[in-house]
Amino acid sequence: MTRLGDSVRRASALLEQDLSSDITVRQLLEETGARRYLDLSDLTAAEQAALIASRAVDVLPSVERLTERIEAAVAAGRGLHVKLGIDPTAVDVHLGHAVQVIVLSRFQRMGHEVTLIIGDITAKIGDPTGRSTERPALTDEDIARNLAGYREQVRPFFDFERVRFRHNGEWLGGLTLPRLIGILAQVPASALLQRDDFRTRLEGGHGLSMSELIYPVAMAIDSAEIEADVELGGVDQLLNMQMGRRVMEIYGQKPQMIVSMPLVEGTDGSGAKMSKSKGNYIGLSSSAEDAFGKVMSVPDRLMEPYLRAWTEWTDEEIALARGRLGDSSLHPMDLKKLLAGEVVTALHGVDAAMAARDAFTAQFSRKSFTEVADLPEVTLSDHGGEGIAAVLTKVLGFTPSASAARRLAKQNGLRVVLETGAGQTGVVLGETDVLRPLGEVIGEHLAAAEEEPKGVYLKAGRKLALVRD
């Protein structure tokens, strides 16, 4: 039996047990968490290809061809050369960005060679994928700062000591105009203009610069320069990666294979992909408690996609959990707590995951919020005159923007909770309340209370703050 198969056997036995038990959950998190470092080199070529394909949207030209490429590489005494391109365009990284890196780690642990291409030249052009306007170019200082932040935040998912870093400025910086024209002459303009985002912008009368048209070709040249066997990327990068195959043929090389990865839906369940601008993300720098709480707030239908995206669970284990949900031997809340524990284990370790689990249980499963330690506080003397949206955004940091606070209220996710000896009374706040002063809203509800509350709380989604005078 392979090392992975042995781990699956142990984990499956735990998945059959009571998953409301802290002891069982800790054992399971320790087992699956250890897989992030598990040597996968004893898997056959077919097993490796199947494991990669199980988390991909597409493996092109086919999973069978990937198996053949692995077998050929092993026969030649080497691993596949796997490429992931990174345009370091942001300081903050979220779990949506981790999806590709997790699969890249599996390639690495199977014994293949991994190269991260840092787009110091292409970042200055700006990837036009999915954009309605041209992205502002980055400076060298921007790129260096963002890359340092990226490496630090993604480190829990990937061994940077066993990877080659290349900057595409090494070859693009010295690319002569005659050479570039020679490549572009063999790329039909129709291949570039078939992109939906380009057509949409042109039909809408928006500008489209020549640099954006050249971007996919510049990215493709990266694959040819390092002679990649496989390129990994988000499904939104599929046309760029296919251009890599075309340009490699122009170079006289064997075209790379493509592994496209899914785009993860955001935590708000709206169907939009995880994005910082939409506030529906879980940052890799999030605290254990914040990450745990955000996972617990997602719709139940996202549990399986999130298990596939962020954990080392196999299809067999996911099917086992799904079956237990189907026959009602597993409560959805217990599975979601396990998923939240998996995310926190990846970011902070098992001990932090179990502590976050305990804190969540104390905060949301008990009848009294007074039992919860270390709640954030907001005082009416300091902030009572400020609008609730401003308090949520600037004081408590519960929402990224005032518009996000209004959306939360629209979804009935914003409440004032009064706790008395008789229990708790929660009052849903509407969109108009979000713009009113906090002190005015709290005062109205205190005046309407039948007895003096022993605790007043502001609850935004799964986040809770104590309101003091």
Which of 139, 149, 151 lies closest to 92, judged by CA?
149
Q: Output the pLDDT for position 34.
A: 96
- Give mean pLDDT in consecutive 10-residue pieces for the chain, a chain of 469 residues: 96 95 96 96 97 96 97 95 81 80 94 90 62 58 76 78 88 91 88 74 74 85 96 90 94 96 89 83 88 91 94 96 93 95 95 92 63 75 90 88 83 81 76 89 82 84 83
Q: Which CATH superfamily is domain 56-261 in?
A: HUPs (3.40.50.620)
Span 377-468 CATH architecture: Roll (3.10)
Three-state SS letters, the chain: CCHHHHHHHHHHHHHCCCCCCHHHHHHHHHHHHHHHHCCCCCCCHHHHHHHHHCCCCEEECCHHHHHHHHHHHHHCCCCCEEEEEECCCCCCCEHHHHHHHHHHHHHHHCCCEEEEEECCCHHHHCCCCCCCCCCCCCCHHHHHHHHHHHHHHHHHHCCHHHCEEEECHHHHCCCCHHHHHHHHCCCCHHHHHCCHHHHHHHHCCCCCCHHHHHHHHHHHHHHHHHCCCEEEEEHHHHHHHHHHHHHHHHCCCCCCEEEEECCCECCCCCCCECCCCCCCCCECCCCHHHHHHHHHCCCHHHHHHHHHHHCCCCHHHHHHHHHHHHCCCCCHHHHHHHHHHHHHHHHHCHHHHHHHHHHHHHHHCCCCHHHCCCCCEEEHHHHCCCEHHHHHHHHCCCCCCHHHHHHHHHCCCEEEEEEECCEEEEEECCHHHHCCEHHHHHHHHHHHCCCCCCEEEEEECCEEEEEEC
Cα angle, residue 403 at apex, residues 263 and 300 outer, rounded to 5°: 45
Q: Output the pLDDT for position 368.
A: 56
Q: Do domains 1-37+273-365 and 377-468 have the same CATH topology?
A: no
Q: Output the pLDDT for position 131.
A: 47
Q: What is the CATH number of domain 1-37+273-365?
A: 1.10.240.10
Q: Output the pLDDT for position 412.
A: 73
Q: Output the pLDDT for position 364.
A: 66
Strands 113-118 and 164-167: parallel
Give residue limits of the domains in the chain: 1-37+273-365, 56-261, 377-468
Q: Output the pLDDT for position 373.
A: 55
